């Protein structure tokens, strides 16, 4: 049996699928419970045609994958107690909650120290930690935006403003008036991942859609964007 693996782009998503060329007349697409996409195709089917068909069914495929994904084990919810690991800029840190009349959050070695007057109140610890993440995100995202924007100066547009929000489904977006909105959870990802999301949104300054021209620009600026996207998604579930 002849088997090949291919990918297509659909919006911000990449759909990977396995094609099995078989003695058959029609093309069939199925999504398995492990979210794998399998295409059964006639032996003489052209890969371009297969890609087209997968693209046409992309919405349905993503819906199926999303349905199956709810049965997958998730990272356990955070409890905000000492010993627990938390991500910051792509690295795992261990939380250490200490009593101190002056509340603060500090990063030292492989620890995040949360000092709080109420070390047994996990809500306070969570609030302190989230405020700290947000503060760090403000500084880091602006620094990365300055860095990434260098590649776009030649288009003569102004550096977009930045907003940080809680987004449940996406990493970022670009508004019609040219403001980049980034998911605050992105501060848990590495700088490489943050740069990928920012560069993707900056490409939208030139191409608002996900056309071939958009991807040509993205590849020319960041040839390894697919790898960065995958690492980002594997890291932050």
Q: Which is nearer to Zn ion, 38 or 174 (CB)?
A: 174
Do residues 160 and 145 make contact, with C-beta atoms less than 8 angstroms apart? yes
The region of 4-12, 90-98, 156-164, 177-185 touching Zn ion under the rule CB under 5 A is: 4-12
Q: Nearer Cβ to Zn ion, position 144 or 172?
A: 172
CB 214, min distance to Zn ion, A: 8
Stretch that binds Zn ion, among 5-13, 60-68, 114-122, 187-195 (CB under 5 A): 5-13
Nearer to Zn ion, 12 or 130 (CB): 12
CB 173 to Zn ion: min, Å: 7
Backbone phi and psi for residue 164, each to the nearest 5 degrees, phi listed first: -115, 130
CB 12 to Zn ion: min, Å = 5
| Phi, psi values for residue 123, rounded to 5° | -65, -40
User: Any long-range contacts for 29-32 (C-beta under 8 Å, 24+ apart)?
Assistant: 29/53, 29/54, 29/57, 29/61, 31/61, 31/64, 31/65, 31/68, 32/68
Chain-centre distance for alpha carbon 31: 22
Tell me how far, at minimum, the Cβ of 203 lies from Zn ion, in Å. Answer: 8
Shortest approach of Zn ion to residue 17 CB, angstroms? 21
User: Nearer Cβ to Zn ion, position 12 or 233?
Assistant: 12
> Among 112, 115, 85, 89, which Cα is nearest to 102's?
115
**Residue whose beta carbon is closest to Zn ion:** 12
- 168 neighbors 66 (Cβ within 8 angstroms): no
Nearer to Zn ion, 54 or 201 (CB): 201
- 6-65: which residues touch Zn ion (CB under 5 A)? 12
Neighbours of 203 (CB within 10 A): 25
Using CB under 5 A, list all residues that contact Zn ion.
12
């Amino acid at each position: 049996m002849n088997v090949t693996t291919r990918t297509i782009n659909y919006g911000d998503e990449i759909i990977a699928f396995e094609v099995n060329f078989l003695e058959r007349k029609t093309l069939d697409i199925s999504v398995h419970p492990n979210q794998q996409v399998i295409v059964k195709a006639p032996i003489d089917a052209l890969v371009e045609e297969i890609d087209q068909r997968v693209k046409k069914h992309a919405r349905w495929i993503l819906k199926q994958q999303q349905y199956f994904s709810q049965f997958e084990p998730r990272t356990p919810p955070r409890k905000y107690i000492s010993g627990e690991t938390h991500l910051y800029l792509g690295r795992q840190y261990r939380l250490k909650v200490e009593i101190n009349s002056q509340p603060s959050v500090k990063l030292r070695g492989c620890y995040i120290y949360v000092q709080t007057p109420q070390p047994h109140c996990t809500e306070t610890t969570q609030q302190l930690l989230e405020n700290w993440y947000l503060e760090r995100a403000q500084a880091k995202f602006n620094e990365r935006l300055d860095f990434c924007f260098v590649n776009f100066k030649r288009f003569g547009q102004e550096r977009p403003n930045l907003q940080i929000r809680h987004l449940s489904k996406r990493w970022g977006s670009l508004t019609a008036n040219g403001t980049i909105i980034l998911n605050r959870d992105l501060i848990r990802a590495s700088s490489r991942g943050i740069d990928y999301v920012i560069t993707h949104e900056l490409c939208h300054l030139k191409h608002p859609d996900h056309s071939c021209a958009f991807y040509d620009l993205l590849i020319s600026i960041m040839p390894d964007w697919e790898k960065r996207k995958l690492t980002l998604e594997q890291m932050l579930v």
